[in-house]
Amino acid sequence: MAREVEEMGAGLQEVRPGPIRGDRPPEPAEIVCVTVDKVYDFCFEEVTLTRNVPVREVPSGTQVQGSLHPERAQTRVVGEAVQGQDGLTTVTLAITLPATLRMGDQPPRTIHFVHLRTLQLHAPPGTQVGAEVHGTCFCHPVDLDGDGFAEEICCAASLCVVYEVTARVKLLLPSFGYCTPTPAREAPGPLLPEYPGSDG
């Protein structure tokens, strides 16, 4: 961790977060055992998923909006993970991502995008494989028979999927002591403009 050292009374030193200054970092005060989430693998991919949703009584010119809910995405391992001789594990993951579909004055509908992927990861026994999803969704009505009403809504989700393999472990680390807050530094320059409800 980056740090800076300031001289204190009685020859003591205070170690603070920040860039290392000087030729030598200070000596650790002790070795501590901490519980942390160790990351074994960390990778990403960009994918595009599509869904065609059947609808009725939706005019073909209706404005359609799709909203993803990445905070509600679920990731599960499908089948058994296979440990390889090269230290990599073959894992099949199924990611289910909900989205809300809004079509004009009609009640919102919930749809789900499903991403099935087989990857090779550094995932030794005891680790957990998870995924985080970010992206956008675009939808439009499709009039298949030209009668002025859409028979389905076509949605495309452009996603960035971040995979992470972790395990809760106990590590021995050098310690420089506990973090303590320091006085806030006021920025030089002109005063801030007045803000409604402020005292200044």
- CB of 77 closer than 8 Å to CB of 95: no
Task: Name the average pLDDT for the chain.
Answer: 87
Integer Cα distance of 76 and 78 in angstroms: 6
Q: What is the dihedral of CA 95, 150, 138, 158, to 10 degrees?
A: 40
Express each pLDDT in 151-184 by its tens digit: 999 999 999 999 999 999 999 999 988 888 888 8
State the pLDDT confidence band at 56, using cuts at 50, 70 and 90: confident
Lowest mean pLDDT among 81-90, 99-108, 189-198: 189-198
Rounded to 5 degrees, what angle do the CA atoms 116, 121, 124 make?
A: 120
- pTM to 2 decimals? 0.76
Length of the chain: 200
Q: Which residue has the higher pLDDT, 42 or 11?
A: 42
- Give strand pairing partners of 133: 161
- For 94-134, write each residue's pLDDT tens digit: 999 999 999 988 889 999 999 999 999 999 999 999 999 99
Q: Looking at the predicted structure, is the pLDDT value of residue 8 above 90? A: no
